Amino acid sequence: MDARQKLENKIIGAVVSAVGNPAVPAQPGAVSPIVEAVTSKILPEIINATNNEPWYRSRVTLGALLAAISGILGAFGYALPAELQGNVIDLIIALGPVVGGALALYGRWAAKKPIGG
């Protein structure tokens, strides 16, 4: 279970507990909308604030890698303009799911054993 799912489960438990408290003026039917509102608006902020996103989705990590690569290229006489650096990071983030999906498919197709076996 990843960090996002763990947090979501904690949120669901807390909302169910709060709505079940007779001192809280909320009906049981309010659980789903409350959970949806919290998970859609606050959960991404919590994950970002606690650095629980995968490294390839972290702008800080991608920026550091780009800076390191730019420095190495600079040592060999190549320069990457600052305007282009932001575009490169956006492109990497956009391609992340595509590359991840392709790697998952390749890993499954190249596997010699069935899942769980």
What does the alpha-carbon distance between residue 11 and residue 19 come to, in Å, rounded to a whole number?
Answer: 12
Q: In sequence order, what DSSP letters do the residues of 5-63 get, joined into one string? A: HHHHHHHHHHHHHHHHSTTS---GGGHHHHHHHHHHHTHHHHHHHTT-S-GGG-HHHHH
| pLDDT tens profile 59-84 | 778 788 888 887 888 788 887 777 78
Q: What is the pLDDT of residue 21?
A: 92
| pLDDT tens profile 33-58 | 999 988 888 888 887 777 666 777 77
pLDDT above 90 for 16: yes
pLDDT above 60 for 117: no
Q: Find the mean pLDDT for residues 79-107.
A: 79
Q: What's the pTM?
A: 0.43
Extents of the domains making up the chain: 3-49, 56-110
